[in-house]
């Protein structure tokens, strides 16, 4: 593709509002885009878009998510920056991977490059990636998430998302009946100090994100419902954390999502290849470890040769100031093309 077409692809994807559960429009757009390129492409039952170039091993997967968090942001362009929901997370990495993928359309190489735009990453349990993993194999995986044009993300924390019900008895607020809010506070005091280490990435993060205990001002509530989002460092199994909190919980627990953390070696072939390619593009590579989680936590089960890379400032993720610098986006495509070429051992013909 020409540069203008790669920029227009990014614009078109960002313009389509696609919160989790409502990805069909952007899925249809990508399907038709690839079909018009005369590429082999399919949509699956969860609206993933999957396309391949080449045949046989090695299998290189390029994947990112099409969905965004809720909350539409007006699309606008200000100089070299494009604003809109998903501009950073993760439509610019998605478009960069797709653009790099298409650059191999007419190249000769041994192997298979797979592009997959997946659904449901911003919702619990990543339905798109779980479906994708049922039907493909991959020797090498480039996952698209924002980390800056010179950033290489080598680690993510795991996640334990639970809903907890603390029960009490509706009664006058002056009574000595059990107060479910106080039960929650007691639970928080016990849990919030678990697995603390020297830094945030290596520590267990405890974040109640929703609390509901409705009652009159002078009536003790009968129950307190809380949603809690734990972020778990690599090496600490989420089931171990679940067992730990269950032992001190005076309430009922519902598991919504559980996934272990992931960390890859700086000696990973994909990491080393990206380091080389970033440097050859005049930049200094930076290693990043993120305190959130991503589909890398799941995809590592397909291959340990995995790395996360993509343009964009991840501090803008999920904010109303999501944007992407066009020059950074274009440079990231060059870097991805170079890294993929290095893996495939392509030489200029």
Rounded CA-CA distance 237/259 in Å is 8
List, in order, residues 6 or more apart from 45 with CB less than 8 Å away.
131
Q: Is there a cis peptide before residue 146, judged by omega within 30 degrees of 0?
A: no
Q: Please count the other Cβ atoms lying within 10 Å of the Cβ belonging to residue 321.
A: 11
Q: Please count the other Cβ atoms lying within 10 Å of the Cβ belonging to residue 79.
A: 7
Residue 176: the pLDDT is: 76
- Tell me the mean pLDDT per 10 residues along the chain, length 349: 90 97 97 97 97 95 97 96 96 98 94 97 94 96 97 97 94 84 94 92 96 89 96 97 95 96 95 97 97 96 96 92 97 97 69
Q: Any catalytic annotation for residue 121?
A: yes
Closest CA to 289 of 233, 333, 241: 233
Q: Return the HEC string of the chain.
A: CCHHHHHHHHHHHHHCCCECCCCHHHHHHHHHHHHHCCCEEEECCCCCEEEEEEECCCEEEEEEECCECCCCCCCEEECCEEECCCCCCCHHHHHHHHHHHHCCCCCCCCEEEEEEEECCCCCCCCHHHHHHHCCCCCCEEEEECCCEEEEEEEEECEEEEEEEEEECCCEECCCCCCCHHHHHHHHHHHHCCCCCCCCCCCCCEEEEEEEECCCCCCEECCEEEEEEEEEECCCCCHHHHHHHHHHHCCCEEEEEEEECCEECCCCCHHHHHHHHHHHHCCCCCEEEEECCCCCHHHHCCCCCCEEEEECCCHHHCCCCCCEEEHHHHHHHHHHHHHHHHHHHCCCCC
318 is in an annotated binding site: yes
Q: Which of 6, 23, 121, 328 is catalytic?
A: 121
Token pair listed for 325: 């610098």
Could you tell me if residue 112 is left (phi over 0), alpha (psi between -120 and 50 degrees) or otherwise beta?
A: beta
Q: By CB neighbour count within 10 A (0-12 exposed, 13-18 middle, 19+ buried), where does 108 fall?
A: exposed
Residue 346: the pLDDT is: 55
| Residue whose pair of structure tokens reads 């998510």 in the numeric block | 65
Residue 347: the pLDDT is: 38
Q: Which of 6, 67, 260, 322 is catalytic?
A: 67
Bridge pairing between strands 158-167 and 223-232? antiparallel
Residue 284: the pLDDT is: 98
- Structural domains in the chain, CATH included, are 3-157+262-344 (3.40.630.10), 158-259 (3.30.70.360)
145 is in an annotated binding site: yes
Instruction: State the virtual CA torsion across 57, 62, 67, 71 in degrees, nearest 10.
Output: 170
Token pair listed for 188: 């928080």
List, in order, residues 6 or more apart from 154 with CB less than 8 Å away.
263, 264, 265, 266, 268, 271, 287, 288, 289, 307, 308
Q: Any catalytic annotation for residue 67?
A: yes
Bridge pairing between strands 111-118 and 59-65? parallel
């Amino acid at each position: 593709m020409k540069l203008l077409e790669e920029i227009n692809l990014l614009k078109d994807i960002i313009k389509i509002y696609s919160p989790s559960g409502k990805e069909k429009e952007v899925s249809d757009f990508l399907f038709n885009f690839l079909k018009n390129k005369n590429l082999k492409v399919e949509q699956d039952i969860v609206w993933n878009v999957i396309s391949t170039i080449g045949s046989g091993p090695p299998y290189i997967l390029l994947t990112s998510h099409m969905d965004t968090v809720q909350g539409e942001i007006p699309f606008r362009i200000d100089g070299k920056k494009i604003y809109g929901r998903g501009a950073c997370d993760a439509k610019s990495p998605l478009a960069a991977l797709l653009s790099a993928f298409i650059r191999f359309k007419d190249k000769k190489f041994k192997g298979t490059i797979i592009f997959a735009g997946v659904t449901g990453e911003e919702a619990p349990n990543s339905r798109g990636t779980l479906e994708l993993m049922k039907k493909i194999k991959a020797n090498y995986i480039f996952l698209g998430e924002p980390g800056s044009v010179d950033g290489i993300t080598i680690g993510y924390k795991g996640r334990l998302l639970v809903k907890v019900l603390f029960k009490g008895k509706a009664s006058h607020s002056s009574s000595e009946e059990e107060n479910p809010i106080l039960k929650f506070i007691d639970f928080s005091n016990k849990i919030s100090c678990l697995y603390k280490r020297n830094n945030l990435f290596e520590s267990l993060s405890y974040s109640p994100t929703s609390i509901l205990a409705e009652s009159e001002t002078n009536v003790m509530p009968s129950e307190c419902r809380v949603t809690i989002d734990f972020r778990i460092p690599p090496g600490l199994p989420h089931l171990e954390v679940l067992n730990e909190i269950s032992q001190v919980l005076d309430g009922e627990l519902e598991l919504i999502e559980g996934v272990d953390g992931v960390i890859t070696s700086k000696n990973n072939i994909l990491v080393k290849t990206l380091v080389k390619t970033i440097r050859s593009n005049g930049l200094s590579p930076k290693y990043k470890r993120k305190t959130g989680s991503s589909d890398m936590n799941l995809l590592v089960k397909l291959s340990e040769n995995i790395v996360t890379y993509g343009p964009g400032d991840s501090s803008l993720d999920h904010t109303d100031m999501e944007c992407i610098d066009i020059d950074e986006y274009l440079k990231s495509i060059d870097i991805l093309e170079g890294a993929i070429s290095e893996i495939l051992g392509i030489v200029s013909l």
